[in-house]
Amino acid sequence: MRLTLSTFVALAALPAAGAPLLETPVDCNIGDNCYIQNYVDHNSASGYLDFTCGPLSYDGHKGTDFALPTYAAMEQGVNVLASAAGVVKGTRDGMKDQILTKENAAQIEGRDCGNGVVIDHGQGWETQYCHLKQGSVQVAKGDKVEAGHILGQIGLSGRTQFPHLHISVRQGGRVVDPFFPSQDADRCGEPRDAMWADPLQYEAGGLIRTGFETGIPDYSDVKSGAAGDAEIATDAPALVVFAFGFGSRSDDIVDITITGPTGNVMSQSVTLEKVQAQYFRAVGKRTPAQGWPKGTYTGIVTLSRDGEVLDQSTTSVMVK
Ligand SMILES: [Zn+2]
């Protein structure tokens, strides 16, 4: 009896039959020029938990969000790739790339996915790709695709506030988290049987982008990619380093150090207060009366949690 029971439990924990092995669905380097912002919600009650029981999700989220650091990166074009072989079940294109606002919400209603593609992998398995760039969809209903086939490009269509690919994995209509395809929607914390062909690292927060500016930049310019100078005049009003990050938790520490041709310019430590999907901080120093010594300035941004370095980024600027 005991043997029968444990056998049954072991079988129930296996992914369902015919589960496809998934290739990474975006043509960028995760942790380098793109990152994972949100995972499937593993808390069916109100509130949210990602598969590690961390906060990188939101209530009712049914997929994984592969995000780009700026709109500029989206405009340059990053391909969305079929994660496994299959047949295209449906597509949509023609929706505008725009950030969700109160004003355009009604126009997006019922088309939350934006421009997208659904692929049927057989045995009830399908993947759906959302928020593709307007005019980028390159496949049509009925097309046979292999893993890695270009479907379109990462965009900003549908219900979204940052450029990213949302991919949903489903089996028989049920949402499956490719990082933790547990049969129990409320389990988290002990991931196993991930469906990725190349294991994807869980990053519990990190730096999206850092740069120099001559003052505190507007958050919209940080997100668009407009913020960040390669050259700054010696008599600019100030020398500022900004840090754009994701997945903050309370008591995370952002250390920013600026050094120049004559040594340390400033060091400042900023403590983050709460869980936030995205945030930005900037510190700097007013320009001295005689101007900054000309040369290369380097900013080092270090993000730490519980005494351990989570991420570090170096940025530089030429003062002339
Ligand atoms: Zn999503």
Ligand 1 mean position to 166 CA, how many Å?
Answer: 4
Distance between CA atoms of residues 60 and 137, nearest Å: 27
Residue 187, CA distances (Å) to 30, 194, 271 in order: 25, 14, 31
Q: How far is the CA of 246 from the centre of ligand 1 (A)?
A: 15
For 224-266, how does the pLDDT look when each residue is reduced to its tens digit (9 = 90+)?
999 999 999 999 999 999 999 999 999 999 999 999 999 999 9
| Dist. CA 113 → ligand 1 center (Å) | 9
Residues forming CATH 2.70.70.10 domain(s) in the chain: 19-176
Q: 19-176: which CATH architecture?
A: Distorted Sandwich (2.70)
CATH topology assigned to domain 206-319: Immunoglobulin-like (2.60.40)
- Residue limits of CATH 2.60.40.2550 in the chain: 206-319
pLDDT (0 to 100) of residue 16: 58
Determine the Cα–Cα distance for residues 43 and 46; give it in Å rounded to an integer.
7
Distances (CA, A) of 145 to 84, 89, 141: 8, 11, 11
Cα(37)–Cα(46) distance, integer angstroms: 20
Both tokens of residue 138?
A: 């390159």
pLDDT tens, residue by residue, 207-234: 999 999 999 999 999 999 999 999 999 9
Q: Is the pLDDT of residue 75 over 50?
A: yes
Give residue 64 CA to ligand 1 midpoint distance, Å: 6
